[in-house]
Amino acid sequence: APKDNHYPTAELQALDAAHHIHPFSDSAAMRARGARVITQADGVWLTDSEGNRILDGMAGLWCVNIGYGREELAEAAARQMRQLPFYNTFFMTTHPPAVALSAKLAEIAPGDLNRVFYAGSGSEANDTNIRLVRHYWHAMGKPEKRTIIARKNAYHGSTMGGASLGGMGAMHAQGGLPIPDIVHIDQPHWWAEGDDLSPEEFGRARARQLEEMIDRLGEGTVAAFIAEPIQGAGGVIIPPESYWPEISRICREREILLIADEVICGFGRTGHWFGSQHFGIDPDIMTIAKGLSSGYQPIGGSIIRESVAEVIEASGEFFHGYTYSSHPVAAAVALENIRILGEEGIIDRVREDTAPYMAQKWATLAEHPMVGEARMVGLMGALELTPDKAARAAFANEGTVGLMTRERCFANGLVMRHVGDKMIISPPLVITHEEIDRLIELAWQSLDEGM
C-alpha cells in the first residue's frame, strides 16, 4: 500500500468496491461509477481526491456542528490519548474526562436532567433508553409498563432497538422489525398529510393519536413515548406549534416517560443547546450523539432526569454498558467541542443571526416551480419537490426526482441530501452569510438543471 493511504482515485475506488460494504448505499449504482472519495475538509468545505471543493450542506451526517478543521479538538484528542487512551467507568471506577463532561452536560441540559449514561453512538444510546425505561417501571413496581410508542418515519438508529423505535418501513422490512412492545403513531407532516386541516388543527390531531394509542394499549402497559423534536432523517418534519404542548400534556397526565431524541436537534442545530428548548419540551430523557463531539469522535448518551436516575440507582446494579461508554478520548473531545460552541457564541449566533439570514434566503427557493414548500428551523431545513404546488402533489415515482437533484447538487459542488423527494439541508453552524449565498445559488442552479 502506498504511504499514508494516498492511493490514486481509481485504485481507491476499485479497492473500495472489492472490500468495503457501505452503509445506506446502492452498491450497484456506486460500483458503476466509483464512490466519490473525500480526502479532507476545512470549515464548511470538503475536498475530494481530484481536488474539487464541495460545500457540505449536511455537516457530514448532521454532526459537524463546529465545522471541520478545529485544531483544538485534535489537540484535546492527542493530549488525552497520551495521558489515558482508554479506561472505562465500569465496576466503580471513573476518570477525569467522564466526570468533567457529565458535569458540563448537567449544566447545559435543561431543568433536572442531571445524570448521563454514555454510549458510542445515538443508536446505542436509544438501546440504553429502551432498557432503562423498562427497568425504571419495573423498579417502580409496574413491570407491565413496557411498551414504547414511537412515530412512523422517525429515525432512532440502526441497531435492533434503534431501528425498532424508528418508523422506517424499508428498514423494518429487511430485519424482522420492530422488536416486541414497540408501536408507532403517525408523524405531524402537515404539507404531505394535512389535507384540509389547518397546520394547528392537524398538529393537535396527530398529537392526540398518542392518547388514542395509550387508550387502546391500556395506560398500565405504556412505558414511554420517544420522538425527535424535529424529525430529521424522515425529511426535516417541523411539527405545527400545537403539537408539542399537546404531546407534553398527554405524557404528563398519562404517566408516560417522554424521551426527546436530540441526536440531530441537540448542540445548537435549532439555535439552542437542545431542540427541546426551542419547543418548550420538558423531557425525562434526552438522547444525544453527533453534535456532542461535532462528529470528531464517536460518542453518544442519555441525559436522564434526576428523579428517574435515582429510581434506577436505588434498585441496585443496572446490568448495562458498552466497552466505549464514557471513552476518555471521545469525552475529552466532546468537552472541548462544547467549550468552543459556548465560548465562541456559535449557538447564540445561529439563533440571532445565521438562522434568520438562512431562513430568509431558503424561503426564496419556494419560488422555484419545482418547490412546494421551503421550511426551516435553526439551521435545518427541507424543500418539498412537487409536480403541482397547489395540490401539494407527490411525484409518481417517489424519490427519483430527489435522487437526481441530489446528484446534480453533488456534481455542482454542494452536498444536499434527499429523502424521497424532499431536499434536506443542515450545514455546519459556523457557515457564513457568503457561504449561505453560495449554497442557495448552487441549489437554484441544481433545481433549474432538472427542469
Q: Does 354 bind ligand PLP (CB under 6 A)?
A: no
Q: Does 156 bind ligand PLP (CB under 6 A)?
A: yes
Helix (H) or strand (E) holding 344: none
By C-alpha distance, which of 78, 40, 110, 30 is closest to 280?
Answer: 110
- Distance CA(78)–CA(60), nearest Å, equals 22
Residue nearest to ligand PLP (CB): 122
How many C-beta neighbours within 10 Å does residue 125 have? 34
CB of 270 to ligand PLP, least distance (A): 13
How many C-beta neighbours within 10 Å does residue 199 have? 17
- Residue 154 or 447 having the CB closest to ligand PLP: 154
Which one of 121-129, 218-226, 236-244, 341-349 is the stretch in contact with ligand PLP (CB under 6 A)?
121-129
Residue 350 · residue 380 · CB < 8 Å? no
Residue 234 · residue 153 · CB < 8 Å? yes
CB of 263 to ligand PLP, least distance (A): 3
Residue 267 · residue 341 · CB < 8 Å? yes
Which residues inside 209-238 make contact with ligand PLP, applying CB under 6 A? 228, 232-233
How many C-beta neighbours within 10 Å does residue 212 have? 11
Q: Does 372 bind ligand PLP (CB under 6 A)?
A: no
Q: Does 421 bind ligand PLP (CB under 6 A)?
A: no
CB of 228 to ligand PLP, least distance (A): 5
CB of 157 to ligand PLP, least distance (A): 4
- Residue 231 or 248 having the CB closest to ligand PLP: 231
- Distance CA(322)–CA(131), nearest Å, equals 13
Residues 6+ apart with CB under 8 A from 335: 76, 97, 100, 101, 104
- Distance CA(358)–CA(381), nearest Å, equals 10
Which one of 105-113, 115-123, 322-330, 409-417 is the stretch in contact with ligand PLP (CB under 6 A)?
115-123
- Distance CA(284)–CA(308), nearest Å, equals 7
How many C-beta neighbours within 10 Å does residue 389 have? 15
Q: Which of 136, 155, 191, 362 binds ligand PLP (CB under 6 A)?
A: 155
Total residues contacting ligand PLP (rule CB under 6 A)? Answer: 17
CB of 196 to ligand PLP, least distance (A): 30
Residue type, 315: S
Q: Which of 157, 161, 268, 295 binds ligand PLP (CB under 6 A)?
A: 157
By C-alpha distance, which of 146, 188, 183, 145 is closest to 164?
Answer: 183
- Residue 234 or 271 having the CB closest to ligand PLP: 234
Which residues inside 238-297 make contact with ligand PLP, applying CB under 6 A? 261, 263-264, 289
Q: Which of 121, 164, 294, 386 binds ligand PLP (CB under 6 A)?
A: 121
CB of 121 to ligand PLP, least distance (A): 3
Q: Does 417 bind ligand PLP (CB under 6 A)?
A: no
Per-residue binding string, ligand PLP, 61-100, x by CB under 6 A, is x---------------------------------------
- Residue 150 or 210 having the CB closest to ligand PLP: 150
**How many distinct helices (H) and strands (E) make up the chain?**
18, 15
- Distance CA(274)–CA(1), nearest Å, equals 44
CB of 314 to ligand PLP, least distance (A): 29
CB of 155 to ligand PLP, least distance (A): 5
By C-alpha distance, which of 181, 147, 180, 186 is closest to 167?
Answer: 186
- Distance CA(124)–CA(146), nearest Å, equals 19
- Distance CA(106)–CA(62), nearest Å, equals 23
Per-residue binding string, ligand PLP, 5-44, x by CB under 6 A, is ----------------------------------------
- Residue 122 or 427 having the CB closest to ligand PLP: 122
CB of 37 to ligand PLP, least distance (A): 22
CA distances, 372 to each of 246, 355, 386, 434, 440 (Å): 28, 21, 6, 26, 16
Q: Does 324 bind ligand PLP (CB under 6 A)?
A: no
Q: Which of 123, 242, 302, 446 binds ligand PLP (CB under 6 A)?
A: 123
Which residues contact ligand PLP (rule: CB under 6 A)? 61, 121-123, 126, 155-157, 162, 228, 232-233, 261, 263-264, 289, 300
